Amino acid sequence: MTAQDVPSRRGLLVILSSPSGAGKTTIARRLLAADPAMGFSVSATTRPPRPGEVDGREYHFVTRPEFEAMIAAGELLEHAEVFGNLYGSPRRPIEAAMAEGRDTLFDIDWQGGQQVRNSPLGREVVSVFILPPSLAELERRLRSRGQDSPEVIAGRMARSMAEVSHWAEYDYVLVNRDLDETEARVRHVVEVERLRRERQPWLNDFVRGLAREFEEAR
């Protein structure tokens, strides 16, 4: 077995953020379907489930007292209030994935992005911000999803610019015009970030082995 067969590495924390409706949930689903090595951080939330959402798959749906107990017990890596509901990322599955060298995808807002970036796990963060092509297209996408009332859509549109104002805090920023193109770009980002020298600790042993071979060949 060569050093290359045992690529011990820490998992990446891939954060996707965008204004509501720009497409991050759709992109996240596609990335996860195409990459079995990547896990999804299933957030806890006090928001009620949408039609088709399954407890434990899209979110862990909890009551506000349950959410507050999770905060008090230190079970959340980050948490924030969005559109009047609480959202947070459970710490334990993330730490387990990292210890096993598996990557984790997050669909969280800018507040969560800041908290994870500033956490002890921040060095493993790769953050991607998704922009809509235009405000009109964002509204069209929110309506076409057909899951929110006009009042909720208006609320989400009103929050959009606040989310977008944090775009420059992200490592990568993509305009989601064509879904296939955006998905491919996020995939490229992840592939390239996995190749960063500091994310491949096995290289130390590998290059030491090469050096030994050089010595022996002299």
Ligand X SMILES: Nc1ncnc2c1ncn2[C@@H]1O[C@H](COP(=O)(O)OP(=O)(O)O)[C@@H](O)[C@H]1O
Ligand Y SMILES: Nc1nc2c(ncn2[C@@H]2O[C@H](COP(=O)(O)OP(=O)(O)O)[C@@H](O)[C@H]2O)c(=O)[nH]1
Residues flagged as binding site for ATP: 18-25
Minimum separation from the CB atom of position 176 to ligand X (A): 5
Please name the helix (run of DSSP H) or strand (run of DSSP E) that holds residue 117, with its range, or none.
Answer: helix 110-117
Q: How crowded is residue 85: how many other Cβ atoms within 10 Å of its Cβ?
A: 13
What is the x/- site pattern for ligand X, positions 132-171, by CB under 6 A?
---------x--xx--------------------------
Query: Which of 26, 75, 95, 111 touches ligand Y (CB under 6 A)?
Result: 111
Q: CB–CB of 89/72 below 8 Å?
A: no
Nearest partner of 175 among 27, 40, 29, judged by Cα: 27
CB of 124 to ligand X, least distance (A): 23
Asked if residues 17 and 109 have their Cβ atoms less than 8 Å apart, the reply is yes
Number of residues in contact with ligand Y under rule CB under 6 A = 16
DSSP string, 83-113: TTEEEEEEHHHHHHHHHTT-EEEEE--HHHH
Strand bridging mode 76-82 / 59-61: unpaired
* 89 binds ligand Y, rule: CB under 6 A: yes
Among 11, 23, 39, 88, binds ligand X (CB under 6 A): 23
Residue nearest to ligand Y (CB): 112
From the list 197, 200, 208, 207, the residue with the least C-alpha distance to 6 is: 200
Q: Torsion over CA of 54, 148, 106 and 195, rounded to 10 degrees?
A: 110
Taking the CA atoms of the chain, what radius of gyration do you get in angstroms?
20
Contact between 11 and ligand X (CB under 6 A)?
no
Candidates 60-68, 91-99, 108-116, 133-141; binding stretch for ligand Y (CB under 6 A): 108-116
Residue owning tokens 């008090």? 72
CB of 32 to ligand X, least distance (A): 13
Q: Report which of 208, 204, 120, 111 is spatially closest to residue 162, judged by C-alpha positions.
A: 111
Q: Which is nearer to ligand Y, 65 or 84 (CB)?
A: 84
Contacting ligand Y (CB under 6 A), which of 112, 127, 176, 185? 112
Q: Which does 47 bind (CB under 5 to 8 A by kind): ligand Y, ligand X, none?
A: ligand Y
Q: Which of ligand X, ligand Y, none lies near 176, with the C-beta cut-off 5 to 8 A by kind?
A: ligand X
Residues at the site binding ligand X, with contacts judged by CB under 6 A:
18, 20-26, 141, 144-145, 176-179
Residues at the site binding ligand Y, with contacts judged by CB under 6 A:
17, 20, 25, 43, 47, 78, 80, 82, 87-89, 107-109, 111-112
